[in-house]
């Protein structure tokens, strides 16, 4: 809500004066301005889904279809600890989330800070 409250009403009024419809205002003005907020939601959802553990353990019984977080847990629960395999698995598990943050980081910061300052 704060994100959209920070959009100047003059911008919407100018679009109405230019003859834009409600759909046109959303498509050409509000949607491009909203991209940082959408990216924040996408990053948070991706991170939560990627790191989901409990749901994956309870639903999947076949080790071939379990996510990497379950496989890392199975490695940690064995009698012989192979730290190099665990660290390599942790790096592989963290890589997609790291890449998402690296490539979408500027949008992420813009989306987090938007609507937080009054001025």
Task: Report the pLDDT value the prediction gives residue 17, as an integer from 0 to 100.
Answer: 93
pLDDT in tens, the chain (119 residues): 777 777 888 888 999 999 999 999 999 988 888 888 788 888 888 888 887 878 888 888 887 888 888 888 877 776 777 888 888 988 988 898 888 888 887 777 766 666 554 54
Task: Report the pLDDT value the prediction gives residue 111, as an integer from 0 to 100.
Answer: 63
C-beta of residue 82 within 8 angstroms of C-beta of residue 58: no
Task: Report the pLDDT value the prediction gives residue 56, as an integer from 0 to 100.
Answer: 80
Could you say which architecture CATH assigns to the domain 2-113?
Orthogonal Bundle (1.10)
Task: Report the pLDDT value the prediction gives residue 112, as an integer from 0 to 100.
Answer: 62
Query: What Rg, from alpha-carbon coordinates, does the chain have?
Result: 22
Length of the chain: 119
| DSSP symbols for the chain | -HHHHTS-HHHHHHHHHTT--HHHHIIIIIHHHHHHHHHHHHHHHHHHHHT--HHHHHH---TTTS-HHHHHHHHHTSSS--HHHHHHHHHHHHHHHHHHHHHHHHHHHHHHHTTS---
Distance between CA 50 and CA 99 in Å, rounded? 13
Task: Report the pLDDT value the prediction gives residue 44, as an integer from 0 to 100.
Answer: 84
User: Per-residue pLDDT tens for 65-84?
Assistant: 888 888 888 777 767 778 88
Q: Name the residue among 55, 57, 9 with its Cα closest to residue 30.
A: 9
């Amino acid at each position: 809500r704060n994100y959209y409250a920070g959009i100047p009403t003059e911008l919407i009024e100018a679009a109405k004066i230019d003859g834009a419809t409600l759909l046109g205002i959303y498509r050409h003005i509000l949607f491009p301005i909203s991209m940082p907020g959408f990216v924040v939601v996408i990053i948070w959802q991706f991170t939560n889904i990627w790191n989901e553990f409990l749901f994956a353990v309870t639903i999947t019984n076949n080790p071939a279809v379990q996510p990497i977080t379950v496989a890392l847990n199975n490695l940690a629960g064995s009698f012989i600890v192979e730290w190099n395999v665990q660290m390599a698995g942790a790096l592989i598990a963290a890589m997609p989330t790291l890449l998402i943050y690296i490539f979408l980081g500027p949008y992420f910061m813009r989306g987090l800070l938007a609507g937080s300052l009054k001025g």
